Amino acid sequence: MATNFPASLDSLTNPTSSDSLNSPSHSAQHANSNDAIEALQAKVGADSSAVTTSLDYKVAQLEGQGAYTSYTPSFTNFTLGNGTAIGRYAQVNDLVFVEGLVILGSTSVMGTSPQISHPVGTSSSDVFISNTLRYDESGVANYVGTIWIYPNQIYLGTFYTGATWAGGGFMNATTPFTWGTGDVFTWQYFYRTI
């Protein structure tokens, strides 16, 4: 009997101490056991298996999900110049978590409605789930804001400028403050890829 595993479980006959070597067949017992062991090894897989149906391969794929990967943010309406940009993301299936930080340098230029491209894929819909912070180095003040998420990029929005609530406009060269060397903006958001 060849093994049925992994399509179904085998029903193996266990000999008793009073059975002769030919009933059940001793050689058939070894052959059936060997077939079952080989099928188990194929299903489990060797270490670092490249066989996509093996459990070793599938576990390695799961373990790799959610690990952070660095990326270089791509900007529109913002020039990094000699500033510093740090980005990272973690992807679990189609869900992507993104974090980033920019420290402006002396040649950085803030434009109107700056945009940052997603690190991977396209967002499945326009959503409004996010967090962003701005730090004014010269004024030593923090400003909170939000992020508008679009299919290919995000826009950084502002909620608060100085002592006045500003109803949710986009960042620009003077909102929420006049940008200069050492100022910081961050982003944290998640989206589903399509």
Residues 55 and 91 placed together within one structural domain of the fold: no
* 85 shares its domain with 173: yes
Is residue 89 located within the same domain as residue 183? yes
The answer to whether 109 and 98 are in contact (CB under 8 A) is no
Q: Which of 64, 95, 110 is the last residue of a domain?
A: 64
Number of Cβ within 10 Å of residue 85's Cβ equals: 18
- The CA distance from 107 to 56, in Å, is 50
- Residue 87 vs residue 52, higher pLDDT: 87
Is the whole-model pTM more than 0.75? no
Residue 67 scores a pLDDT above 90: no
N- to C-terminal Cα separation, the chain:
47
Residues above pLDDT 90, as percent of the chain: 36
pLDDT tens by residue, 112-125: 999 999 999 999 87
* 7 confidence band (pLDDT: 50, 70, 90): confident
Question: What pLDDT was estimated at residue 1?
Answer: 64
CB under 8 A, 24+ apart: contacts of 22-29? 28/1
| pLDDT, mean of residues 56-63 | 83
Print the domain residue range for 170: 69-192
Q: Which pLDDT score, from 0 to 100, does residue 76 have?
A: 97
